[in-house]
Chain A
Amino acid sequence: MEPLLSVAGLTKRYGGRLACDGIGFTLDPGEVLAVVGESGSGKSTLLSLIAGEVAADAGSVAYRMRDGATRDLDTLSLVERRALMRTDWGFVRQDATQGLRMAVSAGGNVGERLMGVGDRHYGRIRATALDWLARVEIAADRIDDPPTRFSGGMRQRLQIARNLVTAPRLVLMDEPTSGLDVSVQARLLDMIRGLVAELGLAVIIVTHDLAVARLLSHRVLVMRAGRVIETGLTDQVLDDPQAAYTQLLVSSVLAA
């Protein structure tokens, strides 16, 4: 099967420091890839490079579009690229205030992408928003509240609904559970796992938490100082790490 996403030789230099050094991997439809590593390992930069928010110094990102043709994202026009980002891709941010419009109601947040692709029927937009709020377990009577009145966990669930409303095939997630209470984390992870399986989403999730990787991902990619140290099936890598650094990472989690 042809992969959904192919990343090759992705490199980014900040001054003298290599944030990402020749990163390459492929992602199949419906596959969940966890990118793990310490802070400063380059994993968040990698996500920004894939999303095209930061320009790469070298390398390429190719994506199989809905029409089946694989395109190098660099060759897309700005219009095509932005259309792709707000329909077929999603991006769930670590900081919900970066991923939501904090002054706009929950319904407006979920409806924005629909209106962005031309839906002009208020009743239909609102019904879809209600449906999605229910799927992320936000009560219907909160639809007109802005996210400023939501808890951290609710904001992340709202972000997920806002991203999934256009039925994207690929979702990037940057530490979606960090900063949340353990019980809130567990509920959110459970929900993400359910949605990913139900919708057949491909996901690249960046996390420093190996437990998150184990729970959600099929494969993991271990990064350190901008390089991929080790990659493989999640269970394999976490149960039988080959690289010394991965062993250290795994054992430190176990010790904690």
Chain B
Amino acid sequence: MYVAVKGGEAAIDNAHRLLAEVRRGDPAVPELTVAQIREQMRLLVDRVMTEGSLYDPDLAALALKQARGDVVEAVFLVRAYRTTLPRFGATEPVDTGAMTLARRISATFKDLPGGQVLGPTFDYTHRLVDFGLADAGSPDPAAEAEPEADAAACPRVTDLLGQAGLLEPSPPDEGAPVGDLTREPVDYPADRAVRLQGLARGDEGFLLALGYSTQRGYGRTHPFVGEIRVGAVELAFTPEELGFPVSLGTVALTECQMINQFHGHGAVPPQFTRGYGLVFGQGERKAMAMALVDRSLRAAELGEPVAVPAQDQEFVLAHCDSLQATGFVEHMKLPHYVDFQAELELVRRLRAEHAARAAAPAPASDESPLREAAE
């Protein structure tokens, strides 16, 4: 005799205990510390902070440990934590022009005020597995840089071009409230600030593929890397009760300003337009992809046709979030047997009707001579 399955609660508890055990792995191997992850898996930590929309390296490292290294799961933990945090307000806009630079490169100028600063980069490394890394050891100390160039001597490339009127100016800050798609539902068409927020939180792989698609002809934007800069900027906040900004400390950022050819239209003369990317920590791939997609999403505003996925803001914003995507894809694991039963019943009925039609005598031949001929 069939008895309905019970014991879901116990099964869930057991599954979670097993998860904890598997997470730890072989107990003979020393356990990872959060500090180790934070220091030695830094790019991973940066990605979790960026897509998690929360600047907290220790929390991101802990989330990675808890998630067994699964990036999307770690982002999920950070986001779910973030949603419970009280919100005190918005900081002053950060001034990336005043960034303490760790790295700064431009592809549009051979040399420029402040120079090209390579910083820590995989670029130009030969991707040969370094078997020496399998053993513990300390690297040779890196060369000391000259004393930090002061920020004024290292202006943003976009500021240099902008002075000559060749590049569209940044839209002026009109003091309008900053949209926040984690606090308000997106209302299409979304303005650029909300789009940029969505892209910054968006999945790196998805944006990378979309940005790539624009380069391969699905909505070409003729991009140049005006500048990528990586470094620390100061974060300032103006508490209502004080009325003047106070420093909250510094955050590490990567900014990419993409410069795109534009032929002008109507009253607008030909000039270069911009795509913008900004992420926490060091994340050049994401920042560049974001800048490419940001520029593509400006198609409508610039009077260009909206024809490919990267130009379609409903398509991009509704699908770039890894949590929404993973939740809905993975929810297919949940039981659907009630709906499946309804479909099963329908298919059985359709099959029965089909069989009945096949078994019935052929209709009068003058109705469908072709069909009869075919039989």
Contact B368 A16 (CB under 8 A): no
B265 contacts A by Cβ under 8 Å: yes
- How many residues on the B side are at the interface (Cβ–Cβ under 8 A)? 6
Instruction: Map CB proximity to B onto A1-32 as digits: 1 under 8 Å, 0 otherwise.
Output: 00000000000011110000000000000000
User: Which residues on B sit within 8 Å (CB–CB) of A13?
Assistant: 266
- Give the docked Cα–Cα distance between A13 and B266 (Å): 9
Contact B266 A14 (CB under 8 A): yes
Residue of A nearest to B266 (CB): A15
User: Which residues on B sit within 8 Å (CB–CB) of A16?
Assistant: 266-267
Contact B266 A141 (CB under 8 A): no
Quote the shortest CB–CB distance from A79 to chain B (angstroms): 21
User: Which residues on A sit within 8 Å (CB–CB) of B370?
Assistant: 141
With a 10 A CB-CB cut-off, give which of A13, A14, A15 has the most chain B CB atoms: A15
User: Which residues on A sit within 8 Å (CB–CB) of B265?
Assistant: 15
Residue of A nearest to B303 (CB): A15
Looking at chain B's contact residues, is the secondary structure mostly helix, strand, loop, or mixed?
A: loop
Quote the shortest CB–CB distance from A190 to chain B (angstroms): 26
User: Which residues on A sit within 8 Å (CB–CB) of B368?
Assistant: 141
Quote the shortest CB–CB distance from B361 to chain A (angstroms): 19
With a 10 A CB-CB cut-off, give which of B266, B267, B303, B368 has the most chain A CB atoms: B266
User: Which residues on B sit within 8 Å (CB–CB) of A15?
Assistant: 265-267, 303
- Give the docked Cα–Cα distance between A11 and B265 (Å): 18
- Give the docked Cα–Cα distance between A69 and B15 (Å): 73
- Give the docked Cα–Cα distance between A16 and B264 (Å): 11
User: Which residues on A sit within 8 Å (CB–CB) of B266?
Assistant: 13-16
Quote the shortest CB–CB distance from B178 to chain A (angstroms): 31
Residue of B nearest to A141 (CB): B368
Quote the shortest CB–CB distance from A12 to chain B (angstroms): 13
Q: Which of A200-230 contact B (CB under 8 A)?
A: none
Q: Which of B234-284 contact A (CB under 8 A)?
A: 265-267
User: Which residues on B sit within 8 Å (CB–CB) of A14?
Assistant: 266
Quote the shortest CB–CB distance from A142 to chain B (angstroms): 11
Quote the shortest CB–CB distance from B263 to chain A (angstroms): 10
- Give the docked Cα–Cα distance between A187 and B303 (Å): 40
Instruction: Map CB proximity to B onto A115-157 as digits: 1 under 8 Å, 0 otherwise.
Output: 0000000000000000000000000010000000000000000
User: Which residues on A sit within 8 Å (CB–CB) of B303?
Assistant: 15
Quote the shortest CB–CB distance from B265 to chain A (angstroms): 5
- Give the docked Cα–Cα distance between A173 and B265 (Å): 30
7 further contact pairs, Cβ within 8 A, besides A14-B266, A16-B267, A141-B368: A13-B266, A15-B265, A15-B266, A15-B267, A15-B303, A16-B266, A141-B370
**What are the nearest 3 A-B pairs in CB distance?**
A15-B266, A15-B265, A16-B266
**Which residues on A are within 8 Å of B, measured CB to CB?**
13-16, 141
- 10 A-B pairs within 8 Å (CB atoms) are namely A13-B266, A14-B266, A15-B265, A15-B266, A15-B267, A15-B303, A16-B266, A16-B267, A141-B368, A141-B370
